[in-house]
């Protein structure tokens, strides 16, 4: 039986290593990016008997791959991301990893260092007992999940280069130990409207980029209404479109020559990121009286695994939770055809992620650990 206290010890250690991604960094973030954390993970994988490889997603931000050889031709894989969101508004020390009230606290405790703590504890137990794994295992510790999820694409390409034929892949996310078999995709865009600056006493001499954004935003909201009125083709529901940020202006007495609009487009099954992104750009350019250019932030495909797949059914039987789909995106966007089964699974609730107080219940760690033991057959 796996020792709960050892999972908690591992998780506390992991939380105490800051791994805030650069885009979310601030004065309280500690050492920026995933580099130090990745180095530690690589060392632990090696100590636990893995062949280890590092591959940069961006300079100084690597994925870490650990490969354990087993006694069969079966291949299992776990993706757990290294980076966390920011900590600037968190209450107390975001990296103390304290244990209280049956919980482990701190940034990353639920999203998703809890899953890595379980995997490390199990591998440690297997090594101490000197028993071989009854399968081959790949653990992909990926960078950049919280901001662009490009680490997943790099990992996918690495798996293909290795010629690995994965049977089952779990993407670690907080799912209350239930099976999440689908989620929406996402397109992120920044639309930039270019105007002409002038003194606000003579507005006719300028071209106001902010007021030019008004018909663009109106047209984008009309597109959102069209999307949610379209009958969904899967349990993922309809696509959505949100304007999430708008910036512009230099001073109260200057006609603004620039305005940017951030657009978040959530994609349902069957929608293609490049196609839907180009549709947004066309809408903006058609309705804006001034020139519009676009910067692509990310393109993530929708993910959907049939709910009657073997791994989904296994998790459902063991957890007693009905399989479901999620409104958020994950690294699974890149893994749809990488394994026969791809499922999101992990301890704790997504409602505790990204909060000013983040925690995971120790009872959830225990339940997730029992699943991993059954899944691994150890």
Q: Which two tokens stand for residue 237?
A: 């529901």
Domain membership of residue 213 as a residue range: 185-300
Q: Output Rg (C-alpha) for the chain, integer angstroms.
A: 23
- Please report how many Cα atoms fall inside a 13 Å half-sphere around the Cα of residue 149, on the Cβ side: 20
Domain boundary among 300, 327, 354: 300
Give the per-residue pLDDT at 171.
98
Q: Is the pLDDT of residue 32 over 70?
A: no
């998790």: which residue's tokens?
315
**Does residue 119 sit in the same domain as residue 191?**
no
Calculate mean pLDDT across residues 111-137.
Answer: 96
Give the per-residue pLDDT at 340.
94
**Does residue 133 sit in the same domain as residue 199?**
no
C-alpha closest to that of 88 among 26, 132, 4? 26
Give the per-residue pLDDT at 328.
87
Q: In the 8-state DSSP scheme, what is residue 355? A: S
Give the per-residue pLDDT at 1.
63
**CA angle 338-21-178, nearest 5°?**
45
Q: Which two tokens stand for residue 286?
A: 């058609």
CATH number at residue 34: 3.40.630.10
pLDDT level of residue 320 (50, 70, 90 thresholds) = very high
**Does residue 19 sit in the same domain as residue 83?**
yes
Give the per-residue pLDDT at 61.
95
Domain boundary among 239, 271, 300: 300
Per-residue pLDDT of 253-280, as tens digits, reads: 999 999 999 999 999 999 999 999 999 9
Provide the CA 213 distance to its chain's centre, in angstroms: 30
CATH number at residue 194: 3.30.70.360
Largest CA distance in the chain: 81
* Helix (H), strand (E) at residue 337: none
Q: Which two tokens stand for residue 269?
A: 């099954």
Calculate mean pLDDT across residues 348-374.
Answer: 96
**Does residue 203 sit in the same domain as residue 136?**
no
Contact present, 235 and 252 (Cβ < 8 Å): no
**Does residue 287 sit in the same domain as residue 328?**
no
pLDDT level of residue 3 (50, 70, 90 thresholds) = confident
Q: Is the pLDDT of residue 233 over 90?
A: no
Contact present, 197 and 339 (Cβ < 8 Å): no
Q: How far is CA 165 from CA 13, 75, 343, 373, in A?
A: 33, 7, 16, 22
Handedness of CA 197, 200, 205, 206 (dihedral sign): positive
Q: What is the DSSP code string of 116-171?
A: HHHHHHHHHHHHHHT---SSEEEEEEES-TTTT-HHHHHHHHHHHHHT--EEEEEE
**Does residue 252 sit in the same domain as residue 104?**
no
Give the per-residue pLDDT at 34.
86
**Does residue 162 sit in the same domain as residue 213?**
no
> Could you give the number of structural domains in the chain?
2
Mean pLDDT of the chain, nearest integer: 96
How many residues are there in the chain?
Answer: 378
Per-residue pLDDT of 37-83, as tens digits, reads: 999 999 999 999 999 999 999 999 999 999 999 999 999 999 999 99
Q: How many CB atoms lie within 10 A of CB 122?
A: 22
Lowest mean pLDDT among 223-227, 234-238, 252-256, 291-295: 234-238
Q: How many CB atoms lie within 10 A of CB 96?
A: 13
Q: List beta partners, residue 193.
A: 259, 292
Domain boundary among 250, 280, 300: 300
φ/ψ of residue 76, rounded to 5: -110, 155
pLDDT level of residue 89 (50, 70, 90 thresholds) = very high
**Does residue 151 sit in the same domain as residue 82?**
yes
Contact present, 108 and 43 (Cβ < 8 Å): no
**Does residue 282 sit in the same domain as residue 316?**
no
**Does residue 127 sit in the same domain as residue 202?**
no
Per-residue pLDDT of 8-24, as tens digits, reads: 999 999 999 999 998 88
Give the per-residue pLDDT at 354.
94
Strand pairing of 324-326 and 292-300?
unpaired
Rounded to whole angstroms, how far apart are CA atoms 378 and 118?
14
Rounded to whole angstroms, how far apart are CA atoms 228 and 191?
22
Q: Is the pLDDT of residue 248 over 80?
A: yes
Rounded to whole angstroms, how far apart are CA atoms 193 and 220?
15
Give the per-residue pLDDT at 122.
97
**Does residue 175 sit in the same domain as residue 260?**
no
**Does residue 312 sit in the same domain as residue 240?**
no
């Amino acid at each position: 039986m796996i020792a709960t206290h050892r999972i908690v010890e591992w998780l506390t250690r992991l939380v105490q290593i800051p791994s805030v991604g650069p885009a979310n960094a601030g004065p309280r973030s500690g050492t920026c990016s995933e580099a130090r954390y990745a180095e530690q993970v690589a060392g632990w994988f090696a100590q636990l008997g893995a062949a280890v490889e590092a591959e940069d997603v961006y300079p100084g931000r690597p994925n870490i791959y650990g490969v354990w050889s087993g006694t069969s031709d079966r291949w299992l894989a776990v993706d757990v991301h290294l980076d966390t969101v920011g900590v600037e508004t968190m209450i107390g020390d975001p990296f103390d990893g304290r244990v209280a009230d049956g919980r482990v606290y701190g940034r990353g405790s639920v999203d998703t260092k809890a899953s890595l703590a379980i995997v490390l504890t199990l591998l440690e137990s297997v090594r101490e007992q000197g028993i071989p794994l009854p399968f081959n295992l790949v653990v992909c510790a990926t960078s950049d999940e919280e901001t662009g999820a490009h680490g997943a694409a790099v990992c996918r390409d690495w798996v293909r280069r290795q010629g690995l034929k994965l049977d089952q892949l779990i993407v670690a996310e907080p799912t209350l130990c239930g099976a999440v078999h689908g989620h929406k995709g996402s397109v992120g865009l920044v639309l930039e409207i270019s105007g002409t600056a002038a003194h606000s006493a003579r507005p006719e001499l300028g071209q106001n980029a902010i007021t030019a954004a008004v018909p663009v935003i109106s047209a984008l909201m009309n597109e959102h209404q069209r999307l949610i009125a379209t009958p969904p083709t899967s349990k993922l529901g309809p696509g959505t479109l949100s304007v999430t940020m708008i910036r512009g202006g230099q001073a109260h007495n200057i006609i603004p020559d620039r305005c940017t609009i951030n657009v978040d487009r959530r994609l349902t099954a069957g929608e293609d990121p490049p196609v839907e992104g180009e549709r947004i750009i066309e809408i903006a350019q058609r309705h804006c009286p001034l020139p519009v250019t676009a910067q692509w932030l990310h393109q993530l495909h929708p993910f959907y695994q049939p709910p009657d797949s073997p791994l989904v059914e296994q998790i459902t039987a063991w957890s007693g939770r009905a399989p479901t789909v999620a409104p958020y995106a994950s690294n699974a966007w890149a893994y749809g055809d990488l394994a026969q089964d791809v499922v999101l699974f992990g301890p704790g609730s997504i409602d505790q992620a990204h909060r000013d107080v983040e925690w995971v219940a120790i009872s959830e760690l225990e339940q997730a650990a029992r699943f991993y033991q059954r899944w691994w057959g150890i």
